[in-house]
Amino acid sequence: MKKVRDQSGSGGISGINITPIIDITLVLLIIMLVAAPVMNIPNMEVELPEAYTSETKELNISISLGTDLRVAVDENIVPITELPRTLDRQLKLKKNPIVIIRADRSVPYSEVENLMELIKVKTRAKRIAVATKQRPGTALAANP
C-alpha cells in the first residue's frame, strides 16, 4: 500500500491510503449479493401434494333464485315449499357443506333475505354464503 508522507518534511507517516481496501470490500459485497439468491435453493426434492378444485365444488350446495322467483337446488328446480326437506337431505349427504345462494341481479334483495331466513330457520344449514361475480380489474383480498 502506498504510504502518504507528511508535507512538513519531518518524514513521518500521516496516514494510509485505504481506497484499494474499500474497492476490494465493495467488489466482494457485490459478488455476495449476486450469489446469495442462487445459494438459497435447497438441494432436496420435494413432491408437493395435489389439490383438485372439483372436490370443493362437490362439498357445496348451490341454491339458485331466478328472476321468476323459482328455486333450484344444485340445478334441480324444486317448489319453495319443498326446499327445506330437499336441502336437509342434501345436508345429510355432505359433511359440513356451505350453502351458496346464487340470486339473479334483478331479484329484489328482500326475496334473497326471505330465502336466507327460510334456510336458517327450517334447515340444519350452518354456513350460508351469497355468490357474487368479481368485478373486472379488481384483485381478491388476501386471506388465509
For residue range 18-75, list pLDDT tens digits in order: 999 999 999 999 998 888 777 665 554 555 555 544 445 567 888 888 888 888 888 8
**Whether this model's pTM surpasses 0.75:** no
- Taking the CA of residue 71 as centre, how many other CA atoms within 13 Å lie in the half-sphere pointing to its CB? 21
Task: In whole angstroms, give the CA distance from residue 89 to residue 1.
Answer: 88
Q: pLDDT tens digit string along 76-91?
A: 889 989 999 999 998 8
pLDDT score at 30: 94
Asked if 73 and 83 count as a contact pair (C-beta separation under 8 A), the reply is yes
90-99 pLDDT, tens per residue?
888 888 889 9
